[in-house]
Amino acid sequence: MSKTIGILTSGGDAPGMNAAVRAVARAAIRKGMKVIGIRRGYNGLIHGDMFEMNERSVSDIIQRGGTILYTARCPEFRYEEGLQKAKQRCIEAGLDGIVVIGGDGSFRGGADLSARGIPCVGLPGTIDNDISCTEYTIGYDTAMNTAMEMVDKIRDTAQSHDRCSVVEVMGRNAGYIAVNTGVACGATAIITTEVEYSLDNIINKINQTRKSGKQHFIIVVSEGIGNSVQIAKEIEAKTGIESRATILGHVQRGGSPTVRDRVVATQMGYYAVDLLEKGIGNRVVGMQNNKIVDFDIQEALSMKKPFENELYKIADEISF
């Protein structure tokens, strides 16, 4: 008998989630499966907010940011009662498996549901690139490119006014967006939680580079550090250079996904359907050495991801 699979997006949205939804739906329909879209993450599962998708349900979405399935954070799903309600809805809808597109929290939910008899496969969807089992998460490239464009614009005005601009980028506690954006924009300094820093050293660097004629400065700060307004104030107080702080915020979560996000989302979505077709659940799909692979969810959650120390070091050495 042909299988029925569900798709949901959960946690923070990310550009490329729609491309993943499209790939999952189309790959499953191609294999003769029935596809159920579940709205607003685990909320939709608990409350039965689902609809049958056909091949046209995912037309014209590959280029769109956000998620047509909507997304949510669902506290109820962390408890047995919520999980049991969700399981019951899955049985009623005849779901043989679910593709969960989200981050670590969403995978924990997927593991819990898999343990209760509903196989779930996770796809890494977050701009933060903070999922350990994968080199790459859907949305990361678009977010970095958006951040880069924004910093370029900020540089125009910082240059005109001979100012220092402190720009805070997203990433929760991870500094991947910060280090790559900083490198791409030629920042004078990058401040992230992964690498110890001293604001006094950064201020010394600003003062030194001023002597060679540099008159405007970009400092990229990761969200995990925060305090960008305070950092700007301190730089201004100690250098006399007029300084401004900009928190880029949710602009980084939107927009049309880049080629990389669309392609990886498509590859991962296709791969996830293969797993569910074989009845394999409790897995997370990831990328290692540029190849699509999968891991047991618990194993994936226990992995550690190295920071881009080498890249950080290069940026630090050549920004003067």
Integer angstrom CA distances of residue 290 from 129, 201, 260, 293: 15, 37, 12, 9
Active-site residue identified among 13, 96, 128, 130: 128
* Ramachandran category for residue 279: left, alpha or beta (phi over 0 → left; psi -120 to 50 → alpha): left
Residue 141 near residue 260 (C-beta atoms within 8 A): yes
Q: What's the closest the beta carbon of residue 128 comes to ligand F6P, in angstroms?
A: 5
Lay out the site mask for ligand F6P across 194-233 (x = CB under 6 A, - = otherwise). -----------------------------x----------
Residue 128 annotated as catalytic: yes
> What is the token pair recorded at 316?
């630090």
Q: Which does 261 bind (CB under 5 to 8 A by kind): ligand F6P, ligand ADP, none?
A: none
Q: What's the closest the beta carbon of residue 297 comes to ligand ADP, in angstroms?
A: 11
Give 78's contacts (C-beta < 8 A, 6+ positions apart): 109
**Sites for ligand ADP among residues 109-138 (CB under 6 A):** 109, 112, 126
Count of residues interacting with ligand ADP (CB under 6 A): 17
Residue 54 near residue 37 (C-beta atoms within 8 A): no
Q: Which does 108 bind (CB under 5 to 8 A by kind): ligand ADP, ligand F6P, none?
A: ligand ADP
Candidates 96-104, 140-148, 230-238, 254-262; binding stretch for ligand ADP (CB under 6 A): 96-104
Q: Which does 141 bind (CB under 5 to 8 A by kind): ligand F6P, ligand ADP, none?
A: none
Helices 17-30 and 259-277: crossing angle in degrees, nearest 10, is 40
Give 148's contacts (C-beta < 8 A, 6+ positions apart): 181, 184, 185
CB-based burial label for 304 (10 Å; 0-12, 13-18, 19+): exposed
Interaction site with ligand ADP (CB under 6 A): 10-12, 42, 73-74, 77-78, 102-106, 108-109, 112, 126
Interaction site with ligand F6P (CB under 6 A): 12, 126-128, 170-172, 223, 253
Active-site positions read 128
